[in-house]
Amino acid sequence: MSRGFCPTVITYGILMNCCCAQGDFSNARRVSNEILERGIEPNVVIYTILIRVFCNEGQMGEAEDVFGRMRESGVVTPNLYTYKTLIMGIARWVM
């Protein structure tokens, strides 16, 4: 917000993707918390990235909670990539 710049949900999504690409999942989580603190409504990309963060950390319960919140929001619908991310995470840690 400094210098007149106000990030959008797209800006945050790009930032979260960059964090994930570097393996910096804690910062990706921090960015997602900032989104909520600023009252920005997460979109399918933000939810899916957050699911990927938890899957990569082996926190499948958290990933499933995010998926549930996404579906319960009534605003955001999971897409094919969301399902793929969750299924791949489950396959990696549960099987």
Tokens coding 22: 């570097």
CA atoms within 13 A on the CB side of 91: 6
pLDDT of residue 44: 95
pLDDT tens string 29-73? 899 899 989 999 899 999 999 999 999 889 999 999 999 999 998
Q: Do the Cβ atoms of 31 and 15 come closer than 8 Å?
A: yes
pLDDT of residue 5: 78
